[in-house]
Amino acid sequence: MAFDPTKPVEGSEIDAAELRNQFNGLKALNDAQQATIDAQQTQITAQQAQMSNMNSSIADLQDAIADLRGRCP
C-alpha cells in the first residue's frame, strides 16, 4: 500500500493494519529514494573517472605541444 498522508484521520481509533501500511509505504518511498541516490552516485563516480582520464590526456597534449615548440627554431 502506498503512503497516504491523510491517514490516520484525527480522532480515529488506532488501527494496527492501517499504521503498518503507512509505515510500509514510507519505507518504500525511502528505499526508492535510496536506490535513486545510489544510481546517481554510480554515475558521478563514472564521470569523475572520465574527467580524470581527460585531464591526463590534456596534460599529455600540453607536454607534446611544449616539446614541439622546443624543437622549433
Task: Round to whole Å and give the CA distance between 4 and 27.
Answer: 13
> Would the pTM of this model clear 0.85, i.e. be above it?
no
- So what's the pLDDT on residue 72? 81
- Reading the block at residue 21, the C-alpha cell is 501500511
Bond preceding residue 5 cis, omega within 30 of 0:
no
- So what's the pLDDT on residue 3? 92
- So what's the pLDDT on residue 73? 72
- Per run of 10 residues, the mean pLDDT along the chain (length 73 residues) is 90 93 96 97 98 97 93 80
Q: Cβ contacts of residue 1 below 8 Å, gap of 6+?
A: 21, 24, 25
- So what's the pLDDT on residue 70? 86
